[in-house]
Structure 1
């Protein structure tokens, strides 16, 4: 959800020259099932423009209508949306609506936190009923400081209910390779909200314009590659060169990302592993065990676009610790 919040703040900053008021809608509680879970947010501008969504599209019009009173008087409110007779999800949503007026300090610290890939916390104070209250509101805890989202709400009312959310760094995908299939994987990963880094050889003369949705391009020789990966990072090695793949595997041998995938058939993977062990006999078995090769889930993918979907699906199953299955065969809730 961090990438959605990042987009909201980005869109708000871009709108500031127009001096438009904005309301943040946050799902703070849920009874039953819903398309999205608590913690999802959307931003509503005074002209009716919206950034993000809190459902599959069923609730947004009602949120826009309910937000008008907050635009008028500035008092935060909780709206209750009972979808049992209107939605396929059959849930009751409790949605906090509040003026979105972050201070310059909050904005500065937020982007610093995102850049440094640090975790942070968000606390929203509310009551579980359809009502307005001047003490309702959200606070961002960035480092040791709690910043109010609305500068007119300065205290955290401990007598109210509190929805707490720990925000992880944006999930990122590092694609090592710059061929056509890397372009497709970049495009599809960016659509999910992931931050995509492309690692390319300088001799390939690639630019960021070659990769739709890219976050960062690194041009580096494999022997000079010194990555620092965290648990919110996936890696896909797909250079289409046996020698380069081997060199990048050596550069990654001390890393423990959330996922590491290797494009290419099983025999090629085994040949790479044999060569890797011959050159580095002390390499950890855990490193080899974490490599998913061939990368992807068997969904019958043929085209580069379909292969990208198969790889993204495997990354999600590994990062979320799930076993892929047809949802029609799953008993109980879809979301934990």
Structure 2
């Protein structure tokens, strides 16, 4: 989403037209799920991806028409059974995609384009979860045009706040300001935030990997010369702290934290100050014996640690992939972070029973648990 927001900003600045494609419905198995997007530029370049190459070629032709006419359209691709052979792709996705294509035109429709840009900038900078709605069809386009973005938590629709009903992503027919509309509803969550304590060389691939996943990354250390290294230029924030701050450190709620200072006392102070907080994840580099020693010392000072605090603690940090090099260790940590974020086990997908993406229906509105 971040790369699309940046591309839209560039299109706005350069006054270049484009078409924004959004998957609004999936039936069966597919490469990507509802809410996935790509941006097709007027020169034919594509930012983002909706499939493993199954639809992009054909989608490009539809995008050109949307750019030229300024009229949005809904496109459906069906790759189930003979449909796959019909397209001659043999991709084997065994699913059907419904894609919404809408124009981004800062030349002829600057007000509409500015609203689209603002909606995406809000998504990537959000600090709190909210529910948005994209109008696909409207009985009164003059009052509620197709392509409009709504913040549904504010009660524009008759069903109120979809998030309170467990809705995360799907299609709905409802009323907005008295107008019957077809909506694509999404629960927009803030970008995951990763806080890394320790600006050593092994933190570099972790920062780079997290940025490729579009996480917001902060690196903290008490050594200015370590933080100033060009290796950490990609980080969103670099925080210089004094040594005594390690013992009473607090971070943003729901953040993910990795402790890798390579200093036992500093790590212990961080674990002691961060464990009671409301962070989502606390990973600590080191062995089983090392973390157990820390916990024994912390419990001697502060009393018994509760299960809720210990559940968020991951040490040794990362998944068991036999990681050895800094790059492999970063991959191991990032994999565990994503597992934690998505509430998954990290087991091999061949062992997973049923669909890779769980689906359920609620109140006439499609719910997708990604």
Query: TM-score band, normalised by the shorter chain?
Result: 0.7 to 0.9
In the alignment, structure 1 residue 311 sits paired with structure 2 residue 307: no
In the alignment, structure 1 residue 164 sits paired with structure 2 residue 160: no
CA distance in 2, matches of 1:222, 1:282: 26
CA distance in 2, matches of 1:205, 1:324: 33
CA distance in 1, matches of 2:235, 2:152: 27
Q: Secondary structure at the match of 1:55?
A: coil
Give the Å deviation of 1:99: 1.4
Give the aligned CA root-mean-square deviation in angstroms: 2.6
Listed as ranges, the matches of 1:164-313 within 5 Å are: 164-207=185-228, 209-211=230-232, 213-224=234-245, 226-231=249-254, 233-281=255-303, 284-313=306-335
In the alignment, structure 1 residue 63 sits paired with structure 2 residue 85: no
**1:32-83 residue CA offsets vs partner (Å, 9 max, x unmatched):** 1100001111111111122111112221121111112111211110011122
Which residue is 1:79 aligned to? 75
In the alignment, structure 1 residue 43 sits paired with structure 2 residue 36: no
Q: Which residue of 89, 92, 100 corresponds with 2:93? A: 89
CA distance in 2, matches of 1:67, 1:275: 62
Which residue is 2:167 aligned to? none
**1:150-203 residue CA offsets vs partner (Å, 9 max, x unmatched):** xxxxx8895443220010000121111111111111111211221211111135
Listed as ranges, the matches of 1:66-145 within 5 Å are: 66-84=62-80, 85=84, 86=89, 87-100=91-104, 102=112, 104=114, 107=117, 111=121, 114-115=124-125, 117-126=127-136, 135-141=145-151, 144=154
Q: Secondary structure at the match of 1:137?
A: coil
Is the 8 Å Cα contact of residues 192 and 216 (structure 2) preserved in structure 1? yes
Gaps (5+ residues) in structure 1?
Answer: 128-133, 147-154
Rate the CA distance shift 1:113–1:193 in 2: closer, same or farther, 3 A.
closer
Is the 8 Å Cα contact of residues 77 and 98 (structure 2) preserved in structure 1? yes
Rate the CA distance shift 1:157–1:32 in 2: closer, same or farther, 3 A.
farther
Rate the CA distance shift 1:113–1:334 in 2: closer, same or farther, 3 A.
closer
Is the 8 Å Cα contact of residues 123 and 188 (structure 2) preserved in structure 1? no
CA distance in 2, matches of 1:275, 1:158: 63
Rate the CA distance shift 1:75–1:289 in 2: closer, same or farther, 3 A.
closer
Give the Å deviation of 1:284: 4.2
Give the Å deviation of 1:204: 4.4
In the alignment, structure 1 residue 9 sits paired with structure 2 residue 32: no
What TM-score do the two structures reach when normalised by structure 2? 0.77
Is the 8 Å Cα contact of residues 264 and 293 (structure 1) preserved in structure 2? yes
CA distance in 1, matches of 2:216, 2:15: 29
Is the 8 Å Cα contact of residues 222 and 251 (structure 1) preserved in structure 2? no
CA distance in 2, matches of 1:15, 1:110: 13
Give the Å deviation of 1:218: 1.1
CA distance in 2, matches of 1:215, 1:7: 15
Q: Which 10-residue stretch deviates more, 103-112 or 196-205?
A: 103-112
Is the 8 Å Cα contact of residues 196 and 219 (structure 2) preserved in structure 1? yes
Gaps (5+ residues) in structure 2?
Answer: 106-111, 138-143, 157-175, 359-370
Is the 8 Å Cα contact of residues 122 and 138 (structure 1) preserved in structure 2? no
Is the 8 Å Cα contact of residues 186 and 212 (structure 1) preserved in structure 2? no
Q: How many residues align?
A: 317
Give the Å deviation of 1:262: 0.8
